[in-house]
Amino acid sequence: MDTKLDTDESLFKKYLRILFVVTAYWAVSISLVFINKALLSGSTNGSTVDAPLFVTWFQCVVTVGICVVLATGGKLFPQLGKFPELKLDVQVMLKVLPLSLVFVAMISFNNLCLKYVGVAFYYIGRSLTTVFNVLMTWILLGERTSFSALVCCAIIVGGFWLGVDQEGVAGSLSISGTIFGVLASLFVSLNSIYTKKVLPFVDQSIWLLGYYNNLNACFLFLPLMLLNGELSTLMTFEGYTNITFWTMMVAGGVFGFAIGYVTGLQIQVTSPLTHNISGTAKACAQTVLATYWYSEVKPFLWWISNWVVLFGSAAYTRVRQQEMERHHKAKVTNP
């Protein structure tokens, strides 16, 4: 009897932890999107700067700062957790550089997309990541994809085109924002591939990879900011004394760091499949919340396009899970 009660209590704690982690992932992810949107194209005087690369650069600086603080805190207070020792190793920085170039392109296009499109359309604008994952895996790694997975990709592409068409019907389509969204999707898929290649150079440590990746990005963004003409914008910007501006900038950096942590935590306490399902459901909630927050009215087919993309993404996740299970069983049967 006591054993059953103990089991029920441990299960309750496990489910409570999963609920807490999933809630944290949703809160951090949705908050980050809304904060970046407010920083990049909000309407509050003094809290919006027309310099998307500067905003992204500052978030990378904050991430590096948080890594250093955590590493130092881990040394002084070991009970807080174990963090790897951080140092400025130029050789490691050079080895991580290919990933950093992809990473800079990914977050730059991501924020440029968010600058020009509404939060409600943001999910559709960035919905081709799965399609590019399949394409880049085939081109770079030579891995073929099943017919079922390709059908799911076709559904996602169909939903994307319908969403673009209906955004035009609603009169809020941004061609440049959509192009930036497609490019962001491409570099998100490349980022996952290059991450696997670079991890051995940092002893498979996600913390070290995040530190060196963002450290490289801090240097890479400087010439890009100059080429994008943001220096003159920053020199004439009058919001440096605005507390709201700096609060949002720091919050964006903290949430940018936190999203990597809660994403890994959600995968750890659930599974990659559950993480993908959670992300898909989060995107749906984010879209509904954005239309309410910004008082947007969308056509019926616009909503259908979102459901088509969500269905295609969920179906692809399920198909890939079944394929991995079959592959695992085949290896066990015929080692």
Check the CA dihedral 36-217-58-224 and report its sign.
negative
Q: Give the alpha-carbon dihedral of 268, 274, 278, 281, to 10 degrees.
A: 180
State how far the Cα of 297 lies from the Cα of 160, in Å rounded to an integer.
19
Closest CA to 287 of 258, 263, 307, 272: 307
Q: What are phi and psi of 217, to 5 degrees?
A: -60, -35
pLDDT at 17: 84
Rg (CA), the chain: 21
Whether residue 9 is predicted with pLDDT greater than 70 in this model: the reply is no
Give me the residue label for tokens 């590493």.
71
Measured CA to CA, the distance from residue 263 to residue 95 in angstroms comes to 25
pLDDT of amino acid 8 = 56
Q: What is the pLDDT of residue 75?
A: 77
Q: What is the pLDDT of residues 249-261, one digit of tens each?
A: 999 999 988 887 7
Does 223 have pLDDT greater than 90? yes
Q: At a CB cut-off of 8 Å and minimum separation 6, what does 249 contact?
A: 39, 55, 58, 59
pTM for the model: 0.83
Alpha-carbon distance of 111 to 100, in angstroms, equals 16
If DSSP states are collapsed to H, E and C, what string results for the chain? CHHHHHHHHHHHHHHHHHHHHHHHHHHHHHHHHHHHHHHHHCCCCCCCCCCHHHHHHHHHHHHHHHHHHHHHHHHHCHHHCCCCCCCCCHHHHHHHHHHHHHHHHHHHHHHHHHHHCCHHHHHHHCCCHHHHHHHHHHHHHCCCCCHHHHHHHHHHHHHHHHHHHHHHHCCCCCHHHHHHHHHHHHHHHHHHHHHHHHHHHHCCCHHHHHHHHHHHHHHHHHHHHHHCCHHHHHHHCCCCCCHHHHHHHHHHHHHHHHHHHHHHHHHHHCCHHHHHHHHHHHHHHHHHHHHHHCCCCCCHHHHHHHHHHHHHHHHHHHHHHHHHHHHHHHHHHCC
Q: With the CA atoms of 242, 243, 249 and 255 taken in that order, what torsion angle do they form, in degrees rounded to the nearest 10?
A: -160
pLDDT tens per residue, range 279-320: 777 887 888 888 888 888 888 898 999 899 889 888 888 888
How does residue 219 score in pLDDT terms, banded at 50, 70 and 90? very high
The phi and psi torsions of 184 (rounded to 5 degrees) equal: -60, -40
The mean pLDDT of 170-180, rounded to a whole number, is 89
- Residue 105 is predicted with a pLDDT of 93
CA 62 to chain centroid: 17
Contact 277, 317 (CB under 8 A): yes
Name the residue among 24, 23, 110 with its Cα closest to residue 60: 110
Mean pLDDT lowest for which of 2-11, 108-117, 189-198, 299-308? 2-11
Q: How far apart are CA 107 and CA 59, in angstroms?
A: 10
